[in-house]
Chains A and B, each alone.
Chain A
Amino acid sequence: EDQVTQSPEALRLQEGESSSLNCSYTVSGLRGLFWYRQDPGKGPEFLFTLYSAGEEKEKERLKATLTKKESFLHITAPKPEDSATYLCAVQAAGDYKLSFGAGTTVTVRA
Chain B
Amino acid sequence: DVKVTQSSRYLVKRTGEKVFLECVQDMDHENMFWYRQDPGLGLRLIYFSYDVKMKEKGDIPEGYSVSREKKERFSLILESASTNQTSMYLCASSFNNEQFFGPGTRLTVL
Chain A residues at the B interface, C-beta cutoff of 8 Å = 4, 31-32, 34, 36, 41-46, 49, 87, 89, 91, 96-103
Contact = CB atoms under 8 A, between A and B. Distances in A.
Contacts of A42: 103-104
Interface residues of B, number: 26
B58 to A, nearest CB: 6
Contacts of B41: 102
A42 B106 CA distance: 10
13 contacts: A31-B97, A32-B97, A34-B97, A34-B99, A43-B90, A43-B92, A43-B101, A43-B102, A89-B43, A96-B56, A100-B42, A100-B43, A100-B44
Contacts of B90: 43-44
Interface of B: 4, 31, 33, 35, 40-45, 48, 50, 56, 58, 90, 92, 94, 97-104, 106
B33 to A, nearest CB: 7
B42 A44 contact: no
